[in-house]
Amino acid sequence: MADLNQEQWQEQLSKDTNALIIDVRTLEEVEEGFIKNAKHIDIYLPQEFMEQLEALDKSKNYYVYCRSGGRSAQACAIMSQLGFENTYNLLGGFCEWKGEVETL
């Protein structure tokens, strides 16, 4: 797992052809807006969270974020334990995101 600030995240993601963005916030938080192309997997729904993680391709690079960076760091740690090699936590989370935002 690596912690990336906003600039590092955007720069690395823009060059990564094997990337998937994961939003681990609640549905209510996602309804306020989300990073383009993010897959929503709510970390507060533990069984669903684990099932959805297990279905992912472990060879991809995962860019994980939450509201402020805490839950996404936890998600990256869980993913590492499950055998995911490349996980990147967005420091500051969605609260500090300055990039493109989409809404439901």
Give CA–CA dist 37/35, Å, rounded.
6
Tokens linked to 77: 């740690």
Other residues' Cβ atoms within 10 Å of the Cβ of residue 53: 18
Q: Which of 13, 38, 41, 66 is catalytic?
A: 66
- Catalytic site residue 66? yes
Which residues does the annotation mark as catalytic?
66
